[in-house]
Amino acid sequence: MAKVLAALVFLLALDEPRQFSRLDLWEKECNAGDAPACAKLAEAQAGLEKLARLDELAQRYGAGANRDELEEDGRPLLNIAYMQVMQDFIEAEQAAGHEELAYDEEAVSHCAGHFHNFWLSNKLWWPTDENDEPSWADIYYYVVDHYHGVCLRRYFNQF
């Protein structure tokens, strides 16, 4: 009996632990016919797709950023970048089927000014790359987050 128990413990020790996420759980429950789990799984997968699009957009913007247009004396012109980023992001989301998002020039302009003044006047720093230059890919993420997470909520009572 002791040998069997020792062999069982040894076999369990050899079995590598597996990560188990909520996605795995929802998928298992959905496959078992749980409709709320299917809805949660679909929503989570849509969120992952949106994050992948955001990452692709940010990397593309960072790689193609026109530093002559977006920087002055080594400082980023965040208000200009903000308007470019939001135009790019909203167009990409609309192309992905999210027609409810619209480019509101007044809101974007207001938010761009707030973002620029906050980062340059209050924080006195901005995301930089390994060369200590503005990291336009990182700034892209911050702009989208600011627009949806701060500015629309605070100033326009949206979302």
pLDDT in tens, 97-107: 888 888 888 88
Q: Is residue 123 part of a domain?
A: yes
Q: Which domain holds residue 151?
A: 21-156
Lowest mean pLDDT among 17-21, 37-41, 93-97, 131-135: 17-21
The string of DSSP letters for 118-149 reads: IIIIII----B-TTSSB-HHHHHHHHHHHIII
Tokens encoding 84 = 């470019």
Task: Give the number of domains in the chain.
Answer: 1
Please give the torsion angle defined by the CA atoms of residues 75, 119, 63 and 72, in that order, rounded to the nearest 10 degrees. -20
In a domain, 4, yes or no: no
Question: pLDDT digit string (tens) for 15-40?
Answer: 555 556 787 888 888 899 989 988 88
Q: What is the pLDDT of residue 13?
A: 47
118 part of a folded domain:
yes
CA distance linking residue 124 with residue 84, whole number of Å:
22
Q: Read off the pTM.
A: 0.76
In this prediction, residue 4 carries a pLDDT of 47
